[in-house]
């Protein structure tokens, strides 16, 4: 088996909806536009058409659906934007622990091991469970913090897009926002994985 290298970007999903590359999207307007384009592009309209038209409908409607699916989800949207801007590579989210989290992660893994052991040997689970539940709460809280920071940085990014549109040179801010977004996204997916793992053990 071979691993994919880089996610190839062939279309600009923002352009599909005639949107600037901004992270704040009005969801109702996005949905309306999606439905409107679906009427035009869906393969159902081209069953009796020639091969070329059918092919084009299939390509364009799948592109529309891919674009809508990606932009509708806030996290997918950030990740996609970064890919489009050349700031992110596929597989990057499989990161090592952020240094400031190392200690907590170490403790968490220890608790998880103990719980698995206790489960296998029929030991007392109540204390371990309680410890893991409080760890989960802690990481959930950190997740909320990351989301808050992501939201703020997304606003900064959007501001650079607006500024650029009005002719300002904001190259520095732009690059800074991108690399901060990238960092936050990695941190988020790392913590998210931790939470999922803990939840699996607690089930």
Partner 1 sequence: MSRIVGIDLGTTNSLVAYIDAQTKEPKCIPGPYGSTLCPSVVSLDADGSIVVGEAARRRLLTQPERTIYSVKRLMGRGAADVQDELKLFPFRIDPNSRNVIRVQLGDTYFTPPEISAFILRELKSWAEAFLGECVARAVVTVPAYFNDAQRQATKDAGKIAGLEIVRLVNEPTAAALAYGLHEKQRGHVAVYDLGGGTFDISVLKLISTSDGDIYQVLATNGDTHLGGDDIDNLLQALVRESIRKEHGVEISGKPELAQELRKALIAAKHQLSAAAQADIRFPLPNGAIFAMPFSREHFDNLIRPIVDRTMGPVKAALADAHLAPSEIEEVVLVGGTTRTPLIRSTVEEFFGRKPHTELNPDEVVALGAAVQANILERGVSNMLLLDVTPLSLGIETYGGAVSKIIPRNATIPASAQEQYTTGVDNQTGIDIHVLQGERELAKDCRSLARFTLKTAPAPAGLPRIDVKFLIDANGILQVSAKDLRTGEEHSIEVQPSYGIDDTEIERMLEESIEYAEQDFAERQLIEARTESEAILSATEKALGNPQGAELPPEERAAIEASVATLRESVTGSDYKLIRRRIDELNRATERLAELLMNSAVQSALEGRKLAEV
- Binding mask 49-88 toward partner 1 (x if CB under 8 A, else -) reads x--------x--xxx-xx-xx-------------------
Only one of the segments 7-15, 99-107, 142-150, 152-160 lies at the binding site for partner 1 (rule: CB under 8 A); that segment is: 7-15
Q: How far is CA 42 from the centre of its chain?
A: 27
Q: Which two tokens stand for residue 16?
A: 């599909």
Name the minimum Å distance from CB 62 to partner 1.
4
Name the minimum Å distance from CB 61 to partner 1.
5
Site membership for partner 1, residue 196 (CB under 8 A): no
List the one residue out of 119, 137, 138 whose CA is nearest residue 128.
Answer: 119
Residue closer to partner 1, measured from CB, 14 or 68: 68
Per-residue burial over 92-111, b if 16 or more Cβ lie within 10 Å, else e, is: ebeeebeeebeebbeebeeb
- Tokens 């009796």 map to which residue? 48
Burial of 141 (0-12, 13-18, 19+ CB in 10 A): exposed
- Tokens 């999903």 map to which residue? 13
Residue 156 near residue 173, CB atoms below 8 Å: yes
Residue closer to partner 1, measured from CB, 4 or 167: 4
Burial of 10 (0-12, 13-18, 19+ CB in 10 A): exposed
- Binding mask 127-166 toward partner 1 (x if CB under 8 A, else -) reads ----------------------------------------
- Binding mask 12-51 toward partner 1 (x if CB under 8 A, else -) reads -----------------------xx-xx--xxxxxxxx--
Residue closer to partner 1, measured from CB, 55 or 133: 55
Upper half-sphere CA count for residue 29 (Cβ side, 13 Å): 6
Q: Which positions lie near partner 1, rule CB under 8 A?
A: 1-8, 10, 35-36, 38-39, 42-49, 58, 61-63, 65-66, 68-69
């Amino acid at each position: 088996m071979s691993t994919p290298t880089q996610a190839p970007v062939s279309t600009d999903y923002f352009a599909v909806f005639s949107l600037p590359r901004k992270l704040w999207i009005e969801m109702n307007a996005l949905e309306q536009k999606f439905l409107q384009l679906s009427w035009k592009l869906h393969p159902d309209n081209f069953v009796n058409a020639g091969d070329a038209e059918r092919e084009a409908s299939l390509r364009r409607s799948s592109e529309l659906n891919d674009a809508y699916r990606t932009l509708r989800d806030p996290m997918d949207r950030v990740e996609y934007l970064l890919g489009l801007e050349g700031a992110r590579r596929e597989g990057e989210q499989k990161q090592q622990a952020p240094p400031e989290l190392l200690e907590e992660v170490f403790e968490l893994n220890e608790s998880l091991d103990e719980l698995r052991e206790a489960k296998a040997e029929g030991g007392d689970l109540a204390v371990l469970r309680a410890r893991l539940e409080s760890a989960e709460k802690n990481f959930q809280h950190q997740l909320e913090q990351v989301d808050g920071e992501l939201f703020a940085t997304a606003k900064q990014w959007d501001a650079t897009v607006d500024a650029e549109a009005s002719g300002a040179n904001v190259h520095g801010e732009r690059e800074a926002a991108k690399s901060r977004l990238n960092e936050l996204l990695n941190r988020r997916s790392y913590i998210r994985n931790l939470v999922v793992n803990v939840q699996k053990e607690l089930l």
